[in-house]
Amino acid sequence: MKKRAQFDHVSLAFETPKGRLNVVEDVSYDINDGDFIAVIGPSGCGKTTMMSMLAGFQKPTTGKVLFDGAPVTGPGPERGVIFQEYGVFPWLTVKQNIAFGLKLKANRVPDSERDAICDHYLSLMGLADFANSYPKHLSGGMRQRLAIARAYAVKPQFLLMDEPFGALDAQTRANMQNLLLKVLAAEGKTVMLITHSVEEAIYLASRIVVVTARPAKIKEIIEVPFPYPRDESIEERPEFGELRSHIRQLVMDEYRAQQAQMRPASFSE
């Protein structure tokens, strides 16, 4: 299996006014072509920072982050990024937002095709009636769907998604999850997804990377035993419930560890 991305003994520390903050510590794992990796762990533990290094927004303090065998030196068109509540330009209409990436040199498509691609993703995301609206006239959930449409439209080989569905209502979230599975089945992408939802991680991912309280270290990497294509019926399977309990326990242990870290010294047990 071809290695797409590699974290090789990666650590990252921020220098802050209060001193050095270790955020990611000695993380090593590979992401193979076609993998769907979900990263789960307590809030603020370093998941986004880990993803940012692969996106090319942050550099590791020590260790290496490789993409297609070469060190990541910055963002690139083969890695599409969807961050929560980011990624739409307020001064462009909905359709212009989707078209934007398709006009950039790295992803440029002929004008005639551009229109058809925009229309396809507008309708896929339920935004066709808002093609000419500006983002400020959309609900938060619609803006997030627009950010997702923009990222899908340029067809990156690798999708980096940071809590992309976190702000959506339950029904839209389920629709967006199923749509993502469809897009992946049709286009065969590799994905790294950060989520706080254990169910979402099991439903979507081929492997789940559970990380510790800050600094984020690998706690466990879990293979999800369900073949694709998947549908909601897997949630009824006993293995789904067992996996959910196991991962919930891991995450809860780390959440408690994080709470203990934050407690003032005088209260420590």
Ligand X SMILES: Nc1ncnc2c1ncn2[C@@H]1O[C@H](COP(=O)(O)OP(=O)(O)OP(=O)(O)O)[C@@H](O)[C@H]1O
Nearer to ligand X, 226 or 255 (CB): 255
Q: Shortest approach of ligand X to residue 43 CB, angstroms? A: 4
The answer to whether 157 touches 188, Cβ cutoff 8 Å, is: no
Instruction: State which residue, 14 or 89, has the beta carbon closest to ligand X.
Output: 14
From the list 221, 171, 217, 218, the residue with the least C-alpha distance to 201 is 221
Point out which residues bind ligand X (CB under 6 A). 14, 16, 21, 23, 43-49, 214
Is the CB of 2 or the CB of 18 nearer to ligand X? 18
The minimum distance between CB 152 and ligand X, in angstroms, equals 22
Q: Cβ 42 to ligand X, closest distance in Å?
A: 7
CB 162 within 8 A of CB 83: yes
Nearer to ligand X, 75 or 77 (CB): 75
Sheet of strand 36-40, all strands in order from the earlier edge strand to the far edge: 79-83, 158-162, 190-194, 36-40, 207-211, 218-223
By the 8 A CB rule, do 65 and 8 touch? yes
Q: Which residue in 141, 148, 126, 27 sits closest to 81, CA to CA?
A: 148
Measured from the CB of residue 215, what is the shortest distance to ligand X in angstroms? 8
Nearest residue (CB) to ligand X, 1 versus 262: 262
CB of 258 to ligand X, least distance (A): 10
Closest CA to 23 of 60, 56, 55, 54: 60
